[in-house]
Amino acid sequence: MLVIDVFTCYGVAGAGSLVGMGLISQIRTDQNRVRGALDLYRWAFCCLSALLWVVLSPDDWRPLVTQVAVGFAAAGVTLLAWAFRQLNGRRTPPRLGWALTAVAAVVLWGMAAFGSDTAYVQAIAWVFAVVSLAMAVDQGWLILRSPRIQRSELSLLIVAAVFALIWAITLAHVMSEAGGPYPAHWLHAPDWLLPITALGFAILPLSVAAVVFAIINQRLNQQLRNRALSDDLTGALSRRGLRELGERMLSMQAHQPTSVAVLMMDVDHFKAVNDGHGHQVGDDVLRQITQLTRERLRDDALLARYGGEEFTVLLPVRSHLEASAVAERLRQMLALTPCETRGGPVSITVSIGVAFHRTDGTLEDALARADACLYEAKQAGRNRVVTARPEA
């Protein structure tokens, strides 16, 4: 049987967390959602670096330091799960995220201080099993919904799934073999799994940091390519960029079990904004709409300024209902979120037309049908979504 010192693995995990923090700190982006995820990753690695204290502490302090560090590690893994969601575009209310992070740590510290050894070991297994399973399920859900599976995202799923499997087996072992004595490092796993569990702890921070770095770098490179075909005012794609990248998306989707929805979105009564507040405020409104819309769309969507105050979204979807739901969420979000401008908040609404690309049609055909639905929405009173019939 392979003999691995668990305390050394704790130290490697702590040192790897510091390296991972430095690696993540090198990433620069202007996307608020990605910046938020990076902040969470940095906090996660900061918490996980507490494991380094275990090997640096004197022998007589090591049991107490280990219990403190394991609590921080639980908080760090919880933050990793939250960061996964943030990076994947799934929102977690900050209060809930921080509350769950605090609960993970406080439960382990409380069990260490006031519970029995058996209760403490079971608490460790439960916390890490539940959090790691949540990470794996969340990443797996992203893969299932994504029309194209990126290698880096699949790698992140594998890391999360392996970690979840390890802790699921550990939990089953702990619950079936209650009773001490327990090892000083508190990893009460089966003998054959203990080296794997320890190594999992050791390589988790660097594995996550490397894969996340690859994912974000890939997305930023795609963003740079898109900017070459972008609108100067808003940063959204220009009409030329929409046609070039849109045709590429359609050709790729021809081999996928998904369709492409085309959303045509027009700002209601935009002339009144320009007349009442000035064209600079109007420009601010267009920029704010672009930012808000981009933050609510998945990374595989295309957002373009089609002309004036009209925007177009190309979105791979698995059903027509999904496209209508996305359009309705965008409409509600923009109606409820005043645009921050140099002249103060400006409230706006939008009308949206939704159509779908046919495999035997062109992008221009789909744009024309979406524009017809947009015209119908405006004629019906604005601030609404009109969707073309699936057979249209």
Q: pLDDT digit string (tens) for 280-310?
A: 999 999 999 999 999 889 878 999 999 899 9
Tokens of 219: 């997305």
Identify which of 191, 312, 147 has the alpha carbon closest to the alpha carbon of residue 246: 312
339 shares its domain with 380: yes
More confident residue, 195 or 123: 123
Q: What CATH number does residue 260 fall under?
A: 3.30.70.270
Gap between the Cα atoms of 286 and 305, Å rounded: 9
- Look at residue 288 in the predicted model and tell me its pLDDT: 95
Where residue 390 falls among pLDDT bands split at 50, 70, 90? low
- Mean of the per-residue pLDDT values of the chain: 87
Is position 106 within any domain?
Answer: yes
Q: What is the pLDDT of residue 357?
A: 87
Nearest residue to 199 (alpha-carbon basis) of 388, 392, 12: 12
CB 339, CB 348: distance < 8 Å:
yes
- Tell which residue, 106, 111, 131, has the closest CA to residue 123: 111
Closest C-alpha to 333, from 383, 378, 382, 373 = 383
DSSP letter, residue 264: E
Q: Are residues 243 and 296 in the same domain?
A: yes
At residue 237, what are phi and psi to the nearest 5 degrees?
-60, 150
The pLDDT of residue 392 is above 50: no
Question: What does the pLDDT read at residue 367?
Answer: 93
Specify which of 18-22, 174-178, 215-219, 330-334 reaches the highest per-range mean pLDDT. 330-334
Q: Is the pLDDT assigned to residue 378 strictly greater than 90? A: yes
User: For the chain, how are helix, strand and coil distributed in percent, rounded to 5?
Assistant: 65, 10, 25
Residues 172 and 239 placed together within one structural domain of the fold: no
pTM for this structure?
0.61
User: Has residue 1 been placed in a domain?
Assistant: no
Other C-beta atoms closer than 10 Å to the C-beta of 130 total 17
Q: Choose the final residue of a domain: 164, 196, 224.
A: 224
pLDDT digits (tens, 9 = 90+) for 160-170: 888 889 889 98
Two structure tokens written together for 151: 């290698």
392 within some domain: no
Q: Does residue 2 register a pLDDT over 90?
A: no
Same domain, 278 and 335: yes
Write down the pLDDT at residue 3. 62
User: Which CATH number do you get for residue 216?
Assistant: 1.20.1070.10
Q: Which tokens is 35 given?
A: 């910046």
**Which of 197, 224, 251 is the last residue in one of the domains?**
224
* Residue numbers of the domain that contains 308: 235-387
Q: Is-cis flag, bond preceding 190, omega within 30?
A: no
The verdict on residue 230 lying in a domain is no
- pLDDT at residue 254 tops 80: no
Mean pLDDT calculated for residue range 256-273 = 90
